[in-house]
Amino acid sequence: MVKIAVLGYGTVGSGVVRVLNTNHDNINTRAGQQIDIKYILDLRDFEGDPVQEKIVHDYDIILKDEEIKIVVEVMGGVEPAYTYVKSALEHGKSVCTSNKELVARHGAELLELAKKKQLNFLFEASVGGGIPIIRPLNNSLTADEITDIKGILNGTTNYILSKMSREGLDFDTALKDAQDRGYAERNPEADVEGFDACRKIAILSSLAYGMQVDFEDIQTEGITKITKEDIAYAKKLDAGIKLIGSSKKVDGDIYAFVAPMLLSNSHPLMGVNDVFNAIFVKGNVLGDVMFYGQGAGSLPTASAVVSDVVDAVKHMGTNIMSIWCTEKLELADIKQSENRYFVRVKGAGKEDSVKSAFGEVTFVVLDDKKDETAFLTDSIKECDFDSKIAAVGEVINCIRADF
Amino acid sequence: MVKIAVLGYGTVGSGVVRVLNTNHDNINTRAGQQIDIKYILDLRDFEGDPVQEKIVHDYDIILKDEEIKIVVEVMGGVEPAYTYVKSALEHGKSVCTSNKELVARHGAELLELAKKKQLNFLFEASVGGGIPIIRPLNNSLTADEITDIKGILNGTTNYILSKMSREGLDFDTALKDAQDRGYAERNPEADVEGFDACRKIAILSSLAYGMQVDFEDIQTEGITKITKEDIAYAKKLDAGIKLIGSSKKVDGDIYAFVAPMLLSNSHPLMGVNDVFNAIFVKGNVLGDVMFYGQGAGSLPTASAVVSDVVDAVKHMGTNIMSIWCTEKLELADIKQSENRYFVRVKGAGKEDSVKSAFGEVTFVVLDDKKDETAFLTDSIKECDFDSKIAAVGEVINCIRADF
């Protein structure tokens, strides 16, 4: 029997308890032995809840109990999670976490510490909720050089964009609907400004390229400026708009960003709607693969956490190798990256100046937008785009495109 | 350094050599040590090919060389692959294979042998080519009870159906196009009759449910009876037709089949076109996940084989656990399973007899098919469907539907 402790009895923590209760036979078979929750750390008491007798308020009880071999950290936030996780590893306990802030900021260091102690630091649930993506990146796509990762990494924004697209709504109305359904927080900034996706693409990039990608280095743009007109234009181009966390390797340089992108309707990511997430990965020999599923929610996220617990049990005493090291990866200047751009500039009849700046482009016309000129460029360096667009006119909106 | 031998220098075998040559630095980093091909077993000599010096014709050389720790079997077919693989394991060598016939027939036994010898028998490439699906099923979806697997498991048939749907072609024309492009064999039976998909869903089911699912027990129907009219009807229902390998668990019973199915256009599998494959899996706590990618091809398949080699190197001396045991899983009688059915019967104006047999159904009309009655039933047991349809009339075609 393996005794574990769960830190935090919130959405994910209660999900972990429920998953272990619901599927205990299956899980114990998979793990090769019985997994038993001995403690749950929370500030609250949960009187009357069946877990009440396992609740402790003092982390030291867990830390000092040598019976506890695995600590499940599902509190979220960098502190006190970091202090707790680090001391768990120092005390010879493996850690499974769903905490993307913690993993993005301290992943490399905690992996190194786990390796040193022949323990494991696992974080399948930190990206894509229930979608298996961390383990496949770490253990399956090992024959490839990863050249491109594009992820719909945030369910809230994907719901909002799906709703805007399906019903022709503006951003504020779709956001309100998402809040009413509990998909978006009252303060939706972390989601709609792309901060959540930014941490996730930082984690995926670090795992894919084997070095520490600092999320602060990733240019991040949310979806608050996306209008229903932008989406209507996209439809005219047989495309749609998704918030994409992207990192790609070009001639040895790695470029990363989070931004709304126009994707062709034939792109596999365009079939990913509402709160679903998906991660599209290109390998130099494998070609394209995509992982799709529920990116959030108590049970899907808990399923991923528990799969980590099973892995930690199976690998007791041996460290599961990861190539993510503490050395910092210097991202290339995003201004040097090439993209196509969908652009709307003020004023009708700008076709000639657009062509003289960008050569052949695809113009798009919306019937009720006669006072502007909209077009899709060919692939162009971002810095060249910046210098050329000034000559054309005042930009209403500009969105990267992947066609 | 780890020395390996490759059995078979055909499409996949040459891919394995190419992947190891192309990505050796990455692969060696991932494996933690250098991987070196010492022998390639083939009947041919490959004079002038850089691999010529590694070619051997006698398997005993490989078997008796204690330096060889891993044997890569990419010959295909049950024999002599089975004899070779079994003796490799008996001689203390782990095996990585892409051979679905071998794995479907002897997987459980070979896994057991590998476990006994503290070796590994790995077969990521046997289903879905480059798509990571075996390892995720085995190591990631471990917190769940798998309740449903639906896979587009054969690229040839998916190409043919995609082509028929996009261009309104009949089966024979689309098959010819697939043959001309090298996507279908001159004798296309294994693909178009569903035999290939049958072996793959047998493997996935065995892994998901932990017992031996014999592929001979799986009712298998190909796509040769699908007409362009069927596809036109499907479109009227905002749906499409895919060849699906399916297994699902209902009240403890497991039903499995391979058959064409009508899927709603909103189903994630409907975005999977041409030679791409995808496997859709439902877990009781995870919800829906899908794995998408190239289901065949030299390099994608070789990428999966090499990822197994990396895993075998990382797990030298320890067996990677699998729940697939030799005990036979008795599939439930497919006649007791419930499905919706899309049905075409001869003769116009059969609406009343359809309604009296099936209650409320959805009728569909094609303008150029006035002499028949077509409809979509609600969910009904297959045996009940069989007994009721006789009263309605002569069936032109009948396709399961998942809406």
Taking CB atoms and an 8 Å limit, are B289 and A23 in contact across chains?
A: no
Taking CB atoms and an 8 Å limit, are A136 and B141 in contact across chains?
A: no
Collapse the DSSP code of B319 into the 3-class scheme (helix H, G, I; strand E, B; otherwise coil) and give the result: coil
Query: How many Cβ atoms are within 10 Å of B391's Cβ, its own excluded?
Result: 11
B 135-164 near A (Cβ less than 8 A): 135-136, 139-145
Contact A192, A156 (CB under 8 A): yes
Q: Is A200 a catalytic residue?
A: yes
Q: Kindly state whether A22 is in contact with chain B, defined as any CB-CB distance less than 8 angstroms.
A: yes
For chain B, residues with pLDDT lower than 50 are: none
Taking CB atoms and an 8 Å limit, are A286 and B293 in contact across chains?
A: yes
pLDDT given for residue B153 in this prediction: 98
Tell me the pLDDT tens digit for each residue of A41-73: 999 999 999 999 999 999 999 999 999 999 999
Question: What is the topology classification, in CATH, of domain B337-402?
Answer: Alpha-Beta Plaits (3.30.70)
Which residue type does A148 have?
Answer: D
Question: CA A285, A287, A293: angle at the middle one, nearest 5?
Answer: 130
In whole angstroms, give the CA distance from residue A3 to residue A170. 50
Chain B residues near residue A325 by CB distance under 8 angstroms: none
Q: Which tokens hold the place of A155? A: 């369910």
Select the residue of A31, A287, A303 nearest B286 (Cβ to Cβ).
A303
In whole angstroms, give the CA distance from residue A361 to residue A350. 12
Taking CB atoms and an 8 Å limit, are B311 and A270 in contact across chains?
A: no
SS (H, E, C) B101-168: HHHHHHHHHHHHHHHHCCCCEECHHHCCCCCCCHHHHHHHCCCCCEEEEEEECCHHHHHHHHHHHHHC
The CATH 3.40.50.720 domain(s) of chain A lie at 2-129+298-314
pLDDT given for residue B171 in this prediction: 98
Taking CB atoms and an 8 Å limit, are B291 and A290 in contact across chains?
A: yes
Contact B378, B361 (CB under 8 A): yes
Q: Which tokens hold the place of A57? A: 């308020």
Helix segments in A48-149, DSSP class H: 59-64, 81-90, 100-116, 134-135
Contact B378, B359 (CB under 8 A): yes
Distance from the first to the final alpha carbon of chain A: 53
pLDDT given for residue A368 in this prediction: 87
DSSP string, B169-218: --HHHHHHHHHHTTSS-SS-HHHHTSHHHHHHHHHHHHHHHSSB--GGGS
Collapse the DSSP code of A134 into the 3-class scheme (helix H, G, I; strand E, B; otherwise coil) and give the result: helix
Contact B180, B111 (CB under 8 A): no
In whole angstroms, give the CA distance from residue B137 to residue B118. 21
Contact B395, B343 (CB under 8 A): yes
pLDDT given for residue B189 in this prediction: 96
Q: Kindly state whether B327 is in contact with chain A, defined as any CB-CB distance less than 8 angstroms.
A: no
Q: Which tokens hold the place of A315? A: 């690998």
Taking CB atoms and an 8 Å limit, are B268 and A270 in contact across chains?
A: no
CATH fourth-level superfamily of A334-402? ACT-like. Chain A, domain 2 (3.30.70.1150)
Which residue type does B387 have?
Answer: S
CATH architecture for segment(s) A136-294: 2-Layer Sandwich (3.30)
How far is the alpha carbon of A282 from chain B, nearest alpha carbon, in Å? 10
pLDDT given for residue B294 in this prediction: 93
Collapse the DSSP code of A103 into the 3-class scheme (helix H, G, I; strand E, B; otherwise coil) and give the result: helix
How far is the alpha carbon of A349 from chain B, nearest alpha carbon, in Å? 37
pLDDT given for residue B403 in this prediction: 85
How far is the alpha carbon of B383 from chain A, nearest alpha carbon, in Å? 32
Tell me the pairing of strands A276-283 and A287-294.
antiparallel
ipTM over cut 0.85 = yes
Taking CB atoms and an 8 Å limit, are A293 and B299 in contact across chains?
A: no
C-alpha B117, offset from chain centre = 28
Tell me the pairing of strands B372-376 and B338-346.
antiparallel
Strands of the sheet containing B121-122, edge to edge, are B55-56, B35-41, B2-7, B68-73, B94-97, B121-122
- DSSP type of residue B65: -
How far is the alpha carbon of B389 from chain A, nearest alpha carbon, in Å? 36
CA-nearest residue of chain B to A293? B289
Query: How many Cβ atoms are within 10 Å of A225's Cβ, its own excluded?
Result: 13
pLDDT given for residue A403 in this prediction: 85
Question: CA B340, B345, B347: angle at the middle one, nearest 5?
Answer: 150
B 232-291 near A (Cβ less than 8 A): 268, 270-272, 283-291
- pTM, whole model, 2 decimals? 0.96
The CATH 3.30.360.10 domain(s) of chain A lie at 136-294
Q: Which tokens hold the place of B239? A: 């749906």
Select the residue of B30, B284, B305 nearest A23 (Cβ to Cβ).
B284
Question: CA B389, B391, B395: angle at the middle one, nearest 5?
Answer: 45
What b-and-e string marks burial along A84-114, b requiring 16 or more CB atoms within 10 Å of the CB?
Answer: bbbbbbebebbbbbbbbbbbbbbbbebbbbb
Phi first, then psi: give them for residue B369, nearest 5 degrees. Answer: -130, 70
- Of the candidates B60, B59, B313, B104, the residue with the CA atom closest to the CA atom of residue B203: B104
Q: Is the peptide bond before B80 cis (omega within 30 degrees of 0)?
A: yes
Tell me how far CA of residue A382 lies from CA of A245, A246, A333, A335, A357, in angstroms: 17, 15, 10, 5, 14
Active site residues per annotation of B: 200
The CATH 3.30.70.1150 domain(s) of chain A lie at 334-402
| CATH assignment of B2-129+298-314, among 3.30.70.260, 3.30.460.80, 3.40.50.720, 3.20.20.70 | 3.40.50.720
How far is the alpha carbon of A382 from chain B, nearest alpha carbon, in Å? 30
- DSSP type of residue A136: I
Q: Is the peptide bond before B188 cis (omega within 30 degrees of 0)?
A: no
- DSSP type of residue B359: S
For chain A, residues with pLDDT lower than 70 are: none
